[in-house]
Structure 1
Amino acid sequence: MKKLSTINTSERNNKERSGFTLIECIATVAIVGILSSIALPNYMNQVNRTRQNETASVISQIQTTIAAYADEFGVLPTSWADLNNTNAIMTENGPATSSNFSAINLAGGFYNAAITHTDNLFTITATRDDVTNLNVIACINLTNGASGINQGKGTADTAATTPNCG
């Protein structure tokens, strides 16, 4: 038989050894913090690029809708309401029904889109207030059929420029 004092000492040593030490907890928190500081900016950048690509897709739809409207009605569209006669351009509040091409807030709520036109050349610009260089600029020329879409890269000197639809 073991002595009572020996049993109590070994039970006490086992209790002291269970769990994590303060150093182990601090090291774990530090490692998680370092990994988070690396991963979070990359994640947010990818989310912003995904939103930009979604907006580029909507802008492409608007280009097609402008051409379809001109083909179907034989006149150039003059407002968002005109474009909705061919294909709905969705905003946060439903289809765009404005009587001109002033800025609308696209569905999703991150980009504002506006259209300017001179004769048969339409330029569509989508911008964000919070990330200025992730803009999207597109054009369509109904005279020569040229169209293009440019996207900003998100860095300080790489905002999108107007494509050449000459």
Structure 2
Amino acid sequence: MQKLNTQKGFTLIELMIVVAIIGILAAIAIPNFMNHQCKAKQAEAKSLLGALRTAEESYFSEHSVYKDENDFNVIGFKAKGDTAYHFTVPVINNTAGYFQARAQATINGAQDVWTITSNAALQNVSNACQ
């Protein structure tokens, strides 16, 4: 009577093929995930810049002046929770009725900067997303 080999398992080649496939999938998926994460942070920045502009315009309509970044609580702007971006109002010209707000963050090692003006012109100055 002949004895059959009943050992079960995977060969080294089969395991190496599975590891290679997982590596290829990760190489494709991780950059896409990072890009989507970056785009989500940019959406947050654009939304908060719009809210900051609305708060500045509301304050301006009542007091005829814009306020700088030291007075965000005065104008009623407060970003809730942790945001990736730092918000400032570096340019104010109250005599011309003009301001420019700025949102800046470091995302994936690159600078991402958005600006919005009193006339609602939203611009991406430095894009960190590919």
Gaps of 5+ in 1: 93-106, 141-145, 157-166
Distance verdict in 2 for CA 1:80–1:127, change over 3 Å: closer
| Matching residue's letter, 1:122 | F
Please point out which of 68, 71, 88 is paired with 2:77.
Answer: 88
- Residue of structure 2 in register with 1:131 after alignment: 110
Written as runs of structure 1 = structure 2, the 5 A alignment for 1:3-152 is: 3=1, 6=2, 9-10=3-4, 13-15=5-7, 18-72=8-62, 74-80=63-69, 82-90=71-79, 107-108=82-83, 110-115=84-89, 116-119=91-94, 120-129=97-106, 130-132=109-111, 134-140=112-118, 146-151=119-124, 152=126
Does the 8 Å CA contact 2:88/2:101 hold for their aligned counterparts? yes
**SS of residue paired to 2:88:** strand
1:126 is displaced (CA, Å) by: 1.2
Gaps of 5+ in 2: none
**SS of residue paired to 2:110:** coil
Does the 8 Å CA contact 2:100/2:117 hold for their aligned counterparts? yes
Post-superposition Cα deviations, 1:57-81, rounded to whole Å, max 9, x if no partner, equal 0000000000101123x23133345
Max Rg structure? 1
Task: Give the TM-score, by structure 1 length.
Answer: 0.66
1:25 is displaced (CA, Å) by: 0.2
User: Percentage identity across aligned positions?
Assistant: 24
Higher RCO (Cα < 8 Å, 6 or more apart): 2
**SS of residue paired to 2:101:** strand
Distance verdict in 2 for CA 1:50–1:90, change over 3 Å: same
Does the 8 Å CA contact 1:114/1:126 hold for their aligned counterparts? yes
Does the 8 Å CA contact 2:35/2:129 hold for their aligned counterparts? no
